[in-house]
Amino acid sequence: MIDPVGSKELKPRFVYDSERHHALMREAETLPAVTISSQAAGNAVMMGGGYFSPFSGYMNVADAVSVAEGMRTTDGRFFPVPVMCLVPDVSAIGNAKRIALRDPNMDGEPVLAVMDVEAIEEVSDEQMALMTAKVYGTQDTEHPGVAAFNGQGRMAISGSIEVLHFSYFQDDFPDTFRTAVEIRNEIAERGWKRVVAFQTRNPMHLAHEELCHMAMERLECDGLVIHMLLGKLKKGDIPAPVRDAAIRKMVELYFPPNSAMVTGYGFDMLYAGPREAVLHAYFRQNMGATHFIVGRDHAGVGDYYGAFDAQTIFDEVPDDALDIEIFKADHTAYSKKLNKVVMMREAPDHSKEDFVLLSGTKVREMLGQGIAPPPEFSRPEVAQILMDYYQSIK
């Protein structure tokens, strides 16, 4: 199986030893505590599950700026985005060297992790602007990722953490949420050697389904891991439980047994386009995938990124940084000429009118009216789940 990034074994930060876990829970109640942001909580969950291995905690400002500028920490470790714990106020923790981090996304704000504090620093306006511009490619506060990153506060708490739970993800998505450790183990149990991962924050239409089949066939893969984001999205995106149901129905009906695994991870969407594509590849290698599909405008939002920026950025990734291979995909759509889904770049004799193309707005309108999109666009069983959802929110 493919090695994790920068190591021969995963280094998850979740405390699996029960005695140690109970001791930390008791200690946490006596420690100074701070409620962290949703983004910082997502970072903790990802470190807990081994997805950000071998990193053991939140970066200090120098490392975060270095990563933003050149995708390496000050000591040369590769990572594509800053992993920070930014808060507006540190008065509750003072100069404490050991603190509890509380989860903003669960009732009662339970302790998410215990942290050994290495530094508490104020991020300057210049540093914040630099990180924002480098990671998101813009400083426009209308960009949802920019707004979330800059809305956390300017006090950076850095240091290693021990994670005590996986926020709401394990409770709300018990059949779907999986750590990198668990996915890696299941890949081994299934006997898969070549594994392609597919990232999604949306339900999968016919074109997505066929893209996965294409990738599996061309890469000669044993298995597919459909890995959906379960954290916070932007307003108007379809909730995770609905996406989960739609994807599971598709896999049940249209994939052979033991060929596809439906899983999810606990993290808020950054909408960072190219940088987020590299992050996605990084943690897919850690979960055991040998290949990763990067499509058109991967992890993008609005018109902030070029259609293939998320693919060309991999030319900037150092050769020694990642072992996972990228499957670079174009937009896929149903060809009326060929009566099948194709990558549009592989049909040069086609005009736009030769494809079945529907905008997201048009599809949402149809579903809201109880009208199923054409079968060339969406499987009827999947469309029914989405229609039921849109009808329920009218």
Active site residue 202: yes
Taking the C-alpha atoms of residue 251 and residue 346, their distance in angstroms, rounded to an integer, is: 26
> Which is it for strands 325-328 and 355-356: parallel, antiparallel or unpaired?
unpaired
Catalytic: which of 190, 194, 201, 364?
201
Beta-carbon neighbour count of residue 183 at 10 Å? 25
pLDDT score recorded for residue 391: 86
Backbone dihedral region of 71: left (phi > 0), alpha (psi from -120 to 50 degrees) or beta? left
Alpha helices in the chain (DSSP H): 18-28, 38-48, 61-70, 125-136, 144-150, 169-172, 180-190, 206-219, 240-254, 274-286, 309-312, 360-368, 380-392
| Domains with residue ranges and CATH for the chain | 18-170 (3.10.400.10), 175-392 (3.40.50.620)
pLDDT of 237 over the 90 cut: no
3-state secondary structure of 149: helix
> Residue 233: pLDDT above 90?
no
Contact 378, 205 (CB under 8 A): yes
Known catalytic residue at 286: no
Q: Does residue 235 have a pLDDT over 80?
A: no
Q: What are the beta bridge partners of residue 342?
A: 333
The yes-or-no verdict on residue 93 having pLDDT over 90 is yes
Q: b or e along 156-166 (b: 16 or more beta carbons within 10 Å of the residue's beta carbon)?
A: bbbbbbbbbbb
- Residue at token pair 């048009």: 362
Using pLDDT thresholds of 50, 70 and 90, give the confidence band for residue 41: very high
Please report which confidence band the pLDDT of residue 363 belongs to, taking 50, 70 and 90 as the band edges: confident
Beta bridge partners of 386: none
Mean per-residue pLDDT over the chain, rounded: 95
Q: What is the pLDDT of residues 378-387, one digit of tens each?
A: 999 999 999 9
Which one of the listed residues 72, 202, 248, 364 is annotated catalytic? 202
Mean pLDDT of 317-322: 93
